[in-house]
Amino acid sequence: MKKENKNKIAIIGHTKGIGKAVASLYKNNGYEVMGFSRSNGYDIAKDQTKIIDALHDCDLVVLNAYSGTAQFEMLKKMYTAFHSVPKKIAVITSTSGTESGIDEDIDNAEYKTYCANKKQLIGYISDMQQDLFNKPLSVYDVCPDVVDTDMIKGMWQNLPKLKTEEVADAVKYCFESSFNVNKIVIQKNAS
Looking up residue 167, the CATH number of its domain turns out to be 3.40.50.720
Q: How many angstroms separate the Cα of 2 from the Cα of each of 5, 6, 7, 30? A: 9, 7, 10, 15
Sign of CA dihedral 126, 128, 131, 137: negative
Is 191 part of a structural domain of the chain? no
Residue 138: its H or E element: strand 138-144
What is the average pLDDT across 46-62? 95
Residue-averaged pLDDT of the chain: 89
Spatial separation of the C-alpha atoms in residues 124 and 77, rounded to whole Å: 12
How many structural domains does the chain have?
Answer: 1
Give me the mean pLDDT over the 151-180 stretch: 85
Structural domain for 163, as ranges = 4-186
pTM metric for this prediction: 0.92
pLDDT-derived band of residue 156, with 50, 70 and 90 as boundaries?
low
Residue 168 lies in a domain: yes
